[in-house]
Structure 1
Amino acid sequence: MAIPPEASLSLRWFFIGNSVLFLHYLLVFLWNANNKNLSNHMLLLFAFALINFITILLRYRRRREHRLMSLQALFLGIVFGGGTILSLGHLPVAGFGWYLCVLSFFHFSEFIFTALYQYPSLTVESFLLNHSFAYAIAAFSSWMEFFLELYFFPSIKCWPIMLVGLVLCLTGEFMRKIAMLTAGRSFNHYIQMTKDEDHHLVTHGIYAWSRHPSYVGWFYWSVGTQILLCNPLCLFAYTFASWRFFKERVEDEEITLVHFFGESYLKYQRQVGTKLPFIKGYRMEL
Structure 2
Amino acid sequence: MIRLVAQIIFLAGVIGWGAIRIPHEIKNKRRNRIDVSAVDLRERVLLLISLCGLGIVPIAYCLFASKGFLRFADYPFSPLQAWLGTLVFVAALALFLATHRQLGRNWSQTLELREDHTLVTHGVYRLVRHPMYSAFFLWGLGQVLLLQNWIAGPAGLIGFGLLYAFRVGREEAMMRAAFGQQYADYMNRTKRVIPFIH
Q: What TM-score does the superposition give when structure 2 sets the normalisation length?
A: 0.75
> Which structure would you say has the larger Rg?
1
SS at 1:267's partner residue? helix
The CA distance in 2 between the partners of 1:267 and 1:189, in whole Å, is: 25
> Which ranges of structure 1 fall in alignment gaps of 5 or more residues?
1-89, 123-130, 281-286
The CA distance in 2 between the partners of 1:241 and 1:133, in whole Å, is: 5
Shift of 1:211: 0.2
Question: Are 1:177 and 2:88 counterparts?
Answer: no
Shift of 1:201: 0.8
Structure 1 counterpart of 2:138: 220
Residue among 157, 169, 191 paired with 1:251: 169
1:46-96 superposed Cα distances (whole Å, 9 cap, x missing partner):
xxxxxxxxxxxxxxxxxxxxxxxxxxxxxxxxxxxxxxxxxxxx7221111
Kept in 2, the 8 Å contact 1:113–1:180? The answer is yes
Structure 2 counterpart of 1:260: 178
AA partner of residue 106 (structure 1)? W
Q: What TM-score does the superposition give when structure 1 sets the normalisation length?
A: 0.54
Question: Are 1:103 and 2:14 counterparts?
Answer: yes
Percent identity (aligned): 19
Query: Which structure is higher in helix share?
Result: 1
Give the alignment's Cα RMSD to 1 decimal.
3.2
The CA distance in 2 between the partners of 1:232 and 1:151, in whole Å, is: 10
Distance 1:244 1:107, change over 3 A: same
Distance 1:137 1:112, change over 3 A: same
Shift of 1:234: 3.7
1:98-143 superposed Cα distances (whole Å, 9 cap, x missing partner):
1111112212320123346775259xxxxxxxx6266247644431
Residue among 23, 44, 49 paired with 1:112: 23
SS at 1:253's partner residue? helix
The CA distance in 1 between the partners of 2:179 and 2:71, in whole Å, is: 54
SS at 2:187's partner residue? helix
Structure 2 counterpart of 1:132: 48
The CA distance in 2 between the partners of 1:181 and 1:200, in whole Å, is: 14
Shift of 1:275: 2.1
The CA distance in 2 between the partners of 1:157 and 1:267, in whole Å, is: 47
AA partner of residue 205 (structure 1)? G
AA partner of residue 176 (structure 1)? F
The CA distance in 1 between the partners of 2:85 and 2:165, in whole Å, is: 23
The CA distance in 2 between the partners of 1:182 and 1:231, in whole Å, is: 35
The CA distance in 2 between the partners of 1:260 and 1:226, in whole Å, is: 37
Structure 2 counterpart of 1:79: none
Distance 1:154 1:218, change over 3 A: closer
Shift of 1:150: 8.9
Residue among 158, 163, 168 paired with 2:88: 168
1:228-262 superposed Cα distances (whole Å, 9 cap, x missing partner):
11123343443233222112221111111000000
Size of the alignment, in residue pairs? Answer: 180
